[in-house]
Amino acid sequence: MKEYEIKLSDIQRILLGEVPFHFFIEVILRTAVIYLILMVSMRLMGKRMSSQLSRNEMAAVASLAAAIGVPLMNPDRGLLPAVVIAMVIITLQMLIAKIATKNTKFESLTQDKYNMLVKDGVLNYKAMVLTRITRDRVLAQLRSQGISHLGMVKRLYFEAGGTFSLLQQSEPVPRLSSIPEWDREMSANIHQQSTQKVCKFCGNYHTGAKANKCENCGKDSWVYAVSNLNNQQS
């Protein structure tokens, strides 16, 4: 379109574009067909498509979205290419899923694998660096599941799909508080302080008077461990 052809007073061009009015009837039909293609595609790719998506499933959805956008709005593009693209994506997705069920290495390569972020009340510093999960993010996740200190945690897994799985300790022990440091009032209401020192970053126990740096994360800042007020351990 030429520059001189663009006018703010041209309401018809702004609202309808440069397609004939009857194209909007065709848009309704195209939308119905595209919607059907998406529904069939999602159904064939399995129940996971309506749940938490893995990386390759997200790639499949993005590819489908890119394939259907052009024929939906462009009158000179047919629907058949979108159907072909959807068939290719479905075939690849089903092939990947089939191989992944038989080959654990291939599954790890395509789906990623889980990481252990907390082990026996101590933050796994190496896993956090690998997954780019911050300390505050882990503690926030624990708080959202009712965990007030790390001594209540047996394991916290970061699953391949991006979700967290928590296994609690049967008998909590004093560890690092998950309550923000500035919220001392809340901590005082639910915690009792222990005589044992732990690393302020990861919650690992202080090994002795000569230990200046944490053996787990290398930090050199220490605080007193806490336990819940209804927990008799100290």
Of 30, 17, 46, whose CA–CA distance to 81 is shortest? Answer: 30
The verdict on residue 167 lying in a domain is yes
Give whichever of 94-98, 99-103, 123-127 has the largest mean pLDDT. 123-127
Mean pLDDT of 185-213: 85
Count of domains observed in the chain: 2
Cβ–Cβ < 8 Å for 234, 227: yes
Last residue of one domain, picked from the residues 51, 79, 110: 110
Q: Which two tokens stand for residue 206?
A: 């202080």
Same domain, 38 and 94: yes
Q: What is the pLDDT of residue 233?
A: 42
Which domain does 71 fall in, by range? 3-110
The DSSP bridge partners found for residue 116 are 157
The yes-or-no verdict on residue 124 having pLDDT over 90 is: yes
Mean pLDDT of 113-140: 89
Averaged pLDDT score across all residues of the chain: 78
Residues 96 and 151 occupy one common structural domain = no
Q: List own/partner pairs for 22-28 with CB under 8 A and 24 or more apart.
A: 23/75, 26/75, 27/72, 27/73
Residue bearing the bigger pLDDT, 81 or 136? 136
Query: Is residue 161 in some structural domain?
Result: yes
Q: What is the pLDDT of residue 143?
A: 92
Contact indicator for 147, 178 with CB cutoff of 8 Å: yes
Q: Who has greater pLDDT, 149 or 41?
A: 149
pTM: predicted TM-score of the whole model, two decimal places: 0.61
Lowest-confidence pick of 35-44, 126-135, 155-164, 197-206:
35-44
Domain-located, residue 149: yes
Residues 24 and 71 placed together within one structural domain of the fold: yes
Please tell me the least confidently modeled range out of 96-110, 112-126, 144-158: 96-110
Same domain flag for 91 and 144: no
The CATH number assigned to the domain holding 176 equals 3.30.240.20
CA distance from start to end of the chain: 77
Residues 56 and 152 in one domain: no
Query: How far is CA 72 from each of CA 55, 85, 159, 228, rounded to the nearest angstrom?
Result: 26, 14, 37, 59
121: left (phi over 0), alpha (psi -120 to 50) or beta: left
